[in-house]
């Protein structure tokens, strides 16, 4: 996002584009990455609810993976994932840093 130049006509600290923070990709902060294994997912959707960064993708009531543009890699989803039969559907792995 380009820094807006403030002049007499724009001198008002008001933002009129709701939710435009989405252009800022916080995924770059991540050092751990969540990996989703659909076979172990019980579609409890807790990961979707708990994610502080709205990074869990859900379609038709089913967890489908992560929006890595925003995921900061906190790992709450993995820790809280109840999984299926003792196997978690989400695990955290080290982010490849090239």
Q: Least distance in Å: CB of 62 to other proteins? A: 9
Q: Look at the chain and count its residues.
A: 98
Q: Least distance in Å: CB of 46 to other proteins? A: 7
Q: Least distance in Å: CB of 38 to other proteins? A: 16
Exposed/middle/buried for 4, CB within 10 Å: 0-12, 13-18, 19+?
Answer: exposed
* Interface contacts to other proteins, rule CB under 8 A: 1, 3-8, 10-26, 29-30, 44-46, 48-50, 52-55, 58, 61, 67, 69-70, 72-76, 78-80, 92
Q: Which residues lie below 8 Å from residue 84, measured CB to CB, with a gap of 6+?
A: 39, 40, 41, 42
């Amino acid at each position: 996002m380009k820094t807006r130049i403030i002049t007499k006509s724009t001198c008002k600290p008001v933002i009129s584009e709701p939710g435009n923070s989405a252009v800022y990709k916080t995924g770059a902060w991540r050092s751990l990455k969540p990996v989703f294994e659909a076979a172990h997912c019980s579609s409890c959707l807790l990961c979707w609810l708990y994610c502080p960064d709205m990074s869990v993708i859900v379609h038709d009531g089913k967890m489908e993976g992560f929006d890595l543009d925003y995921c900061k890699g906190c790992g709450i989803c993995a820790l809280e994932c109840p999984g299926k039969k003792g196997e978690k559907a989400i695990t955290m792995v080290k982010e490849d840093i090239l």
